[in-house]
Structure 1
Amino acid sequence: MKLDVLAIGAHPDDIELSCSATVAKLVKQGKSVGILDLTDGELGTRGTRAIRLKEAEEAAAVLGITERMRLKLQDGNIEVNQPNIRKLMQVIRHYQPTVLLFPHWQERHPDHEHAHRLCREAWFYSGLEKIRTTYNGKKQEPFRPAKYFHFMQKYEFTPSFIVDVSDVYDVKQRSLEAFSSQFYNPKSKERETMLSSKLFLESIRARDMHYGSLVNVAYGEPFYSIEPLGVKSFFNVL
């Protein structure tokens, strides 16, 4: 099964917070999109592994993605080592996405920075023929996605481009509502965290409004490209 786009996050809800409106827009455009959670988020203060997995599946249904996968790495300990690189290479070679989306290299959460390094190395080494991998017992061919872009999490960067997500922003909001254990819930008896504060989701919406305002639309999600982006005509960016 080939995917057009594979979005990779360290934890369940990372993609929903960062770029789920872009995911929803791609799905609306007929693209096949997958989400890969590197960990199950089992170290999160609120909720349990079982609850978070159920919430992740509910969010995936809201977004209408082709598939949601788990790499089952240890939360709080995403190691950039050969076994983990090969695990991710197997996924990349199996689904052969044209584009990868994954975290920027500078982030507040160490897992997000480690996820960047893991994704960057797996992206590169997936294209090398002499690094051999198998999937379900079958030999895999080398494959390297054409592009990768970084989505924004806690720390801001100067975007390479901003996706107008105004027409699908309600889908992002509904995907976030699926993670009821993690975000604001006045009935919850669990310890309050930064994510569960009343202002947190409002701050996400405000940020998306801010980046939308930079390109004269209601909502926008920012991305960064380490390489220059070419266009066939400057009319394509108007």
Structure 2
Amino acid sequence: MKLDILAIGVHPDDVELGCAGTLLKEIQRGKKAGIVDLTQGELGTRGTVETRYTEAAEAARILGVSVRENLKMRDGFFKNDEDHQLLLIKTIRKYRPDIILGNVLTDRHPDHGRAGNLISDACFLSGLAKIETTDDEGNTQEKWRPRYFLQYMQDWYHEPDLLIDVSDVVETKMRSIDAYITQFHTSESEAGGPQTYISTPDFKESLLARMRMMGKRIGVKYAEAYITQKHIGLSNLEGLILQET
């Protein structure tokens, strides 16, 4: 399946928190998008692996993505090494996305930065013909390098290189986050675990506040922020949002 956009998150819910608005906008434009979770989030304080799969499937339904799969790397203990790079290269070559959205390179959670660097390295290595991989049926895969790897902002603030207006889809984005009942529900008894950093009401409020702050910078209500190691070029000025200052 050829995808236009592949969103990658080290934990189920990373994609929803970081770039769900952008996925919704692009799907509305007729683009085909998918999600790959690197781990099952098995070290999460609340919920179980089984509930994560159920929640991730519901979030994927809300977003309308074409595919979602989990690579089952070890939560907390995966490495940016040859074995993990090859697994991700196979996935990139499988879906052949033009754009990959993924974890930022440095963040509060060490898994985020490690995953971001793994994704960055795999994007480059996937374009090398002498790295040989096969699909699940044993067929040789062709090389493929995405045009862009855009890192969505997570916990720590980074000066963005790109801002995407998500004002008209922010409510749906938040519904996709709410699909993770065990992670973001505020009731300890109903969620089946103690209160955590991301389960308090303040966490979702801070997420909305971040998007409001980013939106203000481009004259819209809400925006998602991205960092890129590659300069972004436009073929014309139609993609620019012009505002009075």
Tell me the TM-score normalized by structure 2: 0.94
Q: CA deviation at 1:218?
A: 1.0
Quick one: distance in 2 between partners of 1:120 and 1:195?
A: 26
What is residue 236 of structure 1 aligned with on the other side?
Answer: 239
Q: CA deviation at 1:227?
A: 1.7
1:210 is aligned to 2:244: no
Per-residue CA distance 1:61-101 (angstroms, 9 max, x = gap) = 00000101111000011211111111100010111000011
Structure 2 counterpart of 1:168, one-letter code: V
Structure 2 counterpart of 1:27, one-letter code: I
Q: How does 1:157-176 map to 2 (within 5 A)?
A: 157-176=158-177
Q: CA deviation at 1:158?
A: 1.1
Q: How does 1:74-85 map to 2 (within 5 A)?
A: 74-85=74-85
What is residue 177 of structure 1 aligned with on the other side?
Answer: 178
Give the counterpart of 1:222 among 207, 210, 225.
225
Q: CA deviation at 1:235?
A: 4.6
Residues 186 and 199 in structure 2, CA contact (< 8 A), matched pair in contact too: yes
Residues 212 and 222 in structure 2, CA contact (< 8 A), matched pair in contact too: yes
Q: Give secondary structure in 2 for the equivalent of 1:97.
A: coil
What is residue 58 of structure 1 aligned with on the other side?
Answer: 58
Q: CA deviation at 1:205?
A: 0.9
Aligned length: 238
Which region of structure 1 is more displaced relative to structure 2, 223-232 or 35-44? 223-232
Quick one: distance in 1 between partners of 2:129 and 2:200?
A: 48
Q: Give unpaired runs (5+ residues) of structure 2.
A: none
Structure 1 counterpart of 2:178, one-letter code: E
Q: CA deviation at 1:189?
A: 4.9
Structure 1 counterpart of 2:226, one-letter code: F
Quick one: distance in 1 between partners of 2:86 and 2:230?
A: 25
Structure 1 counterpart of 2:35, one-letter code: I
1:92 is aligned to 2:95: no
Pairwise CA RMSD of aligned residues?
1.1
What is residue 68 of structure 1 aligned with on the other side?
Answer: 68
Q: Give secondary structure in 2 for the equivalent of 1:88.
A: helix
**Percent of aligned pairs with the same amino acid:** 41
Which region of structure 1 is more displaced relative to structure 2, 224-233 or 29-38? 224-233
Q: Give secondary structure in 1 for the equivalent of 2:102.
A: strand
Structure 2 counterpart of 1:204, one-letter code: L
Residues 184 and 195 in structure 1, CA contact (< 8 A), matched pair in contact too: no
What is residue 39 of structure 1 aligned with on the other side?
Answer: 39
Q: CA deviation at 1:35?
A: 0.6
